Each structure stands twice: as structure tokens, then as C-alpha cells.
């Protein structure tokens, strides 16, 4: 598993286009939203949670079709599945890679964007915490969609249609968790709901990812 993660990190370092467009989209989405809403500080502050979460979701969806595509085209996925190696370890390794490559840069920039939108420091960190808590659910649902589309050359619009119903509950509770920032945020109902969604995403997502990859492999074997 460590070798798979290290390989993905090396490829991401050599090919910035695998993760940088998502980060740039996040920033541009916030900038355009600020311009469209106007300079009213109170309105921006009230809408900050929803804007940041929407930008985050679309940034992750943007590159969803590429997450398994390279491995599928090079035959690495087929080799892993036919060699008898643990499919669970492969999926978890890919999830860790997505977190390190795609989600960590967004987590770093969220407090900065929150400050620009007028959030207080505590609210900015609460926003980051809500995304961090929801990370497993976000990653496994995005990976599930990527596995289904791993043989498709293009699938951006299809990816949005497929993954959005799974992400809407995360969006609702994520925004609510960020907006209820106080000393007991870690024990709030919204955080507990996000943890529950994590369990659901893993129980549904991991078998679905394995089944989708296996089906795509069988299409060409």
C-alpha cells in the first residue's frame, strides 16, 4: 500500500495538471462569487460556508474521471486485480492519495479564503474542521464515481450527475457544522452526522469501487 501511495505522489509531483486545476478552480469560483454577490461584508460572511463547500465539491469533481484512468490505461489496475493482491488495500491507498494530493491543498487554503470572505479565525478553522471530518465520505464517493468512469475518455458532466446526490447530505451537514462554530464543535450534532456519513460512504463506496473496476477490466479482457 505504501508503494502505491508513493507512486501516486511521485506522479502528482511530476504532473501538476493532475491536481492544480482543482485548486485554481476553487480560488476562481470564490473570486467570481464575490464579484457576483458584491462587496457587502455581511452578505459575504453569511454565504461564506455554502460558497466554500460548493467550491470544494466542484473542485473534487473536476478531476474525478482521472483518478483511476491512468492506472486503468497502463494496465496496473488489471495487474493488481489478477495478481490476487488485496483490493481493499488498493482502494484505501487510492483514497489516501486523493486526500494527500487533492484535499490537503484545499484544506490549507480554506482558512485564507474564509478570511477573505469575512469569517473570523474560529469560523475559518471550524470550516476546515468540517471538511476534514467529512473527508472520508467525500473521497469514497468521488472514487466510486471515478471507478465507474475509469474507461471513459471524458465524463465531467456525467460525474456531476452521478456523485451529486451522494454529496448533497455532506454539503448540508458540512455547512451546518461550520456555521455552528463554538467550543463544543467537535461534539455537535452536525459533526456526528458527518461521521455517520463517513461510515455509510465506506460501507457503500468500497464494494462499489471494487465492483466497478472489476467490471471495467472485464470489458477488455
User: For residues 30 and 24, what is the distance between their CA atoms, to the nearest angstrom?
Assistant: 10
Write out the chain's pLDDT in tens, 221 residues.
788 899 889 988 888 888 898 899 999 999 999 888 887 888 888 888 899 999 999 998 887 767 888 888 888 888 888 887 788 999 999 999 999 999 999 999 999 998 888 888 888 888 898 999 999 999 999 999 888 888 776 655 676 787 888 999 999 999 888 877 654 556 688 889 999 999 999 999 999 999 999 888 876 55
Cell numbers at 33, concatenated: 462569487
CB 45 within 8 A of CB 122: no
pTM of the model as a whole: 0.89
Report the number of distinct structural domains present in the chain: 1
Quick one: angle between helices 121-148 and 104-116, nearest 10? 140
29: domain range? Answer: 2-218
Cell numbers at 119, concatenated: 469569517
CB 101 within 8 A of CB 18: yes
Contacts of 84 (CB under 8 A, 6+ apart): none
Contacts of 78 (CB under 8 A, 6+ apart): 72, 217, 221
User: For residues 32 and 18, what is the distance between their CA atoms, to the nearest angstrom?
Assistant: 23
* Alpha-carbon separation of residue 187 from 63, 139, 176 (angstroms): 33, 23, 13
Amino acid at each position: 500500500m505504501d508503494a502505491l501511495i508513493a507512486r501516486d505522489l511521485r506522479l502528482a509531483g511530476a504532473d501538476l495538471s493532475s491536481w492544480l486545476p482543482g485548486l485554481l478552480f476553487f480560488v476562481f469560483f470564490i473570486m467570481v462569487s464575490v464579484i457576483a454577490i458584491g462587496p457587502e461584508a455581511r452578505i459575504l460572511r453569511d454565504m461564506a460556508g455554502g460558497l466554500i463547500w460548493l467550491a470544494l465539491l466542484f473542485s473534487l469533481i473536476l478531476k474525478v474521471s482521472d483518478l483511476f484512468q491512468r492506472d486503468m490505461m497502463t494496465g496496473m489496475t488489471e495487474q493488481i486485480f489478477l495478481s490476487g493482491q488485496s483490493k481493499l488495500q488498493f482502494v484505501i491507498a487510492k483514497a489516501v492519495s486523493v486526500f494527500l494530493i487533492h484535499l490537503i491543498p484545499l484544506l490549507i487554503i480554506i482558512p485564507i479564503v474564509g478570511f477573505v470572505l469575512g469569517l473570523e479565525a474560529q469560523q475559518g478553522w471550524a470550516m476546515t474542521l468540517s471538511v476534514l471530518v467529512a473527508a472520508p465520505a467525500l473521497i469514497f464517493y468521488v472514487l466510486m464515481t471515478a471507478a465507474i468512469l475509469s474507461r471513459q475518455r471524458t465524463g465531467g458532466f456525467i460525474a456531476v450527475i452521478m456523485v451529486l446526490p451522494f454529496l448533497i447530505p455532506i454539503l448540508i451537514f458540512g455547512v451546518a457544522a461550520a456555521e455552528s462554530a463554538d467550543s463544543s464543535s467537535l461534539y455537535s450534532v452536525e459533526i456526528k452526522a458527518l461521521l455517520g456519513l463517513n461510515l455509510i460512504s465506506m460501507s457503500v463506496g468500497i464494494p462499489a469501487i471494487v465492483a466497478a473496476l472489476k467490471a471495467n477490466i472485464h470489458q477488455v479482457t
